[in-house]
Amino acid sequence: MIRFSSSKLGMMVSFILILMWFCELSSIVGATNHVRITNQLSEGMDLTIHCKSKDNDLGVHQLAYNASFPWSFDDNALYNCHVEWLHGQTDFDAFDASGEQYRCSDCCWAARIDALYYVVCETGESNTWNKWTPRRTLSR
Protein backbone atom coordinates (compact mmCIF):
# COMPACT_ATOMS: atom_id res chain seq x y z
CA MET A 1 0.00 0.00 0.00
CA ILE A 2 1.28 3.46 -0.90
CA ARG A 3 1.31 5.95 1.95
CA PHE A 4 1.83 9.65 1.44
CA SER A 5 3.55 11.67 4.07
CA SER A 6 1.61 14.81 4.88
CA SER A 7 4.23 17.00 3.19
CA LYS A 8 3.97 14.99 -0.05
CA LEU A 9 0.19 15.20 0.13
CA GLY A 10 0.47 18.93 0.73
CA MET A 11 2.68 19.30 -2.32
CA MET A 12 0.23 17.35 -4.47
CA VAL A 13 -2.68 19.46 -3.28
CA SER A 14 -0.81 22.70 -4.02
CA PHE A 15 0.23 21.35 -7.42
CA ILE A 16 -3.40 20.57 -8.27
CA LEU A 17 -4.51 23.99 -7.03
CA ILE A 18 -1.85 25.72 -9.15
CA LEU A 19 -2.89 23.64 -12.16
CA MET A 20 -6.53 24.63 -11.66
CA TRP A 21 -5.51 28.28 -11.33
CA PHE A 22 -3.59 28.10 -14.63
CA CYS A 23 -6.57 26.53 -16.41
CA GLU A 24 -8.88 29.22 -15.10
CA LEU A 25 -6.42 31.95 -16.05
CA SER A 26 -5.97 30.65 -19.59
CA SER A 27 -9.73 30.48 -20.10
CA ILE A 28 -10.01 34.15 -19.10
CA VAL A 29 -6.96 35.36 -21.01
CA GLY A 30 -7.60 32.98 -23.96
CA ALA A 31 -8.62 35.79 -26.25
CA THR A 32 -11.00 35.07 -29.06
CA ASN A 33 -9.54 35.80 -32.46
CA HIS A 34 -11.50 37.70 -35.06
CA VAL A 35 -10.82 37.83 -38.78
CA ARG A 36 -12.73 39.84 -41.36
CA ILE A 37 -12.40 39.96 -45.13
CA THR A 38 -14.08 42.82 -46.96
CA ASN A 39 -14.80 43.31 -50.63
CA GLN A 40 -13.64 46.83 -51.49
CA LEU A 41 -13.17 46.16 -55.20
CA SER A 42 -15.72 48.33 -56.94
CA GLU A 43 -19.45 48.74 -57.45
CA GLY A 44 -20.98 45.56 -58.86
CA MET A 45 -17.81 43.48 -58.49
CA ASP A 46 -18.10 40.24 -56.52
CA LEU A 47 -15.35 38.60 -54.50
CA THR A 48 -15.26 34.85 -53.91
CA ILE A 49 -13.48 33.61 -50.81
CA HIS A 50 -12.63 30.22 -49.40
CA CYS A 51 -10.92 30.01 -46.00
CA LYS A 52 -9.95 26.98 -44.00
CA SER A 53 -7.81 25.76 -41.17
CA LYS A 54 -6.52 22.23 -40.71
CA ASP A 55 -9.78 21.19 -39.02
CA ASN A 56 -12.30 23.78 -40.11
CA ASP A 57 -13.42 24.53 -43.66
CA LEU A 58 -15.47 27.72 -43.72
CA GLY A 59 -16.78 27.02 -47.22
CA VAL A 60 -16.99 29.13 -50.34
CA HIS A 61 -18.66 32.54 -50.01
CA GLN A 62 -19.51 35.18 -52.54
CA LEU A 63 -19.26 38.73 -51.25
CA ALA A 64 -20.96 41.62 -53.00
CA TYR A 65 -19.23 45.00 -53.08
CA ASN A 66 -18.73 46.37 -49.54
CA ALA A 67 -19.82 43.10 -47.93
CA SER A 68 -17.68 41.45 -45.25
CA PHE A 69 -17.14 37.90 -44.11
CA PRO A 70 -16.21 37.81 -40.41
CA TRP A 71 -15.41 34.78 -38.28
CA SER A 72 -14.15 34.13 -34.76
CA PHE A 73 -12.42 31.25 -33.04
CA ASP A 74 -10.80 30.43 -29.71
CA ASP A 75 -7.87 28.32 -30.78
CA ASN A 76 -4.80 29.61 -32.58
CA ALA A 77 -5.44 27.64 -35.77
CA LEU A 78 -3.75 28.85 -38.91
CA TYR A 79 -6.35 29.97 -41.47
CA ASN A 80 -5.41 30.07 -45.12
CA CYS A 81 -7.68 31.74 -47.65
CA HIS A 82 -8.06 31.68 -51.38
CA VAL A 83 -9.75 34.80 -52.74
CA GLU A 84 -10.61 35.61 -56.32
CA TRP A 85 -12.53 38.02 -58.49
CA LEU A 86 -12.91 38.74 -62.18
CA HIS A 87 -9.32 39.90 -62.77
CA GLY A 88 -7.25 38.19 -60.12
CA GLN A 89 -6.71 35.77 -57.33
CA THR A 90 -4.39 35.17 -54.41
CA ASP A 91 -3.78 32.91 -51.43
CA PHE A 92 -2.79 34.20 -48.00
CA ASP A 93 -2.76 33.33 -44.32
CA ALA A 94 -5.62 35.35 -42.86
CA PHE A 95 -4.65 34.32 -39.35
CA ASP A 96 -1.23 33.12 -38.31
CA ALA A 97 -0.50 33.15 -34.57
CA SER A 98 3.20 32.65 -35.27
CA GLY A 99 3.29 35.15 -38.11
CA GLU A 100 6.55 37.04 -38.47
CA GLN A 101 5.14 39.92 -40.48
CA TYR A 102 2.03 40.69 -38.45
CA ARG A 103 0.44 39.66 -35.17
CA CYS A 104 -3.21 40.32 -34.66
CA SER A 105 -6.09 38.82 -32.74
CA ASP A 106 -8.35 41.14 -34.68
CA CYS A 107 -7.28 40.84 -38.31
CA CYS A 108 -8.85 42.75 -41.18
CA TRP A 109 -8.27 42.20 -44.87
CA ALA A 110 -9.57 44.20 -47.81
CA ALA A 111 -9.67 43.17 -51.45
CA ARG A 112 -9.19 46.23 -53.66
CA ILE A 113 -8.69 46.58 -57.40
CA ASP A 114 -4.89 46.89 -57.18
CA ALA A 115 -4.13 44.37 -54.43
CA LEU A 116 -5.16 42.53 -51.31
CA TYR A 117 -4.55 44.72 -48.26
CA TYR A 118 -3.81 43.93 -44.64
CA VAL A 119 -5.76 46.46 -42.59
CA VAL A 120 -5.24 47.42 -38.95
CA CYS A 121 -8.86 47.03 -37.82
CA GLU A 122 -8.81 49.79 -35.19
CA THR A 123 -7.22 52.51 -37.30
CA GLY A 124 -8.09 51.44 -40.83
CA GLU A 125 -4.42 51.89 -41.78
CA SER A 126 -3.78 49.54 -44.67
CA ASN A 127 -0.74 47.91 -46.21
CA THR A 128 -0.45 46.21 -49.58
CA TRP A 129 -0.21 42.49 -48.88
CA ASN A 130 -0.51 40.48 -52.10
CA LYS A 131 -0.70 41.63 -55.66
CA TRP A 132 -3.30 39.79 -57.72
CA THR A 133 -2.13 37.00 -59.95
CA PRO A 134 -4.12 36.22 -63.11
CA ARG A 135 -6.94 33.81 -62.46
CA ARG A 136 -6.28 30.24 -63.45
CA THR A 137 -8.84 28.82 -65.81
CA LEU A 138 -10.95 26.39 -63.81
CA SER A 139 -11.66 24.13 -66.79
CA ARG A 140 -8.86 22.37 -68.65
Ligand X SMILES: *[C@@H]1O[C@H](CO)[C@@H](O)[C@H](O)[C@H]1NC(C)=O
Residues that bind ligand X (CB under 6 A): 43, 65-66
d(CA 37, CA 117): 10
Smallest separation, CB 127 to ligand X (Å): 18
DSSP 99-125: -SS---SEEEEEE-SSEEEEEETTT--
Counting Cα atoms < 13 Å in the Cβ hemisphere of 6 gives 0
- CB-nearer residue toward ligand X: 33 or 38: 38
Q: Which is nearer to ligand X, 33 or 39 (CB)?
A: 39
When the beta carbons of 41 and 96 are compared against ligand X, the nearer one is: 41
Query: Minimum Å distance from CB 66 to ligand X?
Result: 4
Q: What are phi and psi of 28, to 5 degrees?
A: -80, -50
Nearest distance, CB of residue 16 and ligand X, angstroms:
53
**Residue 24: its H or E element:** helix 6-29
If you ran DSSP here, which 8-state letter would residue 34 be given? Answer: E
Q: Least distance in Å: CB of 76 to ligand X?
A: 31
Residue number, 62 or 133, with CB nearest to ligand X: 62
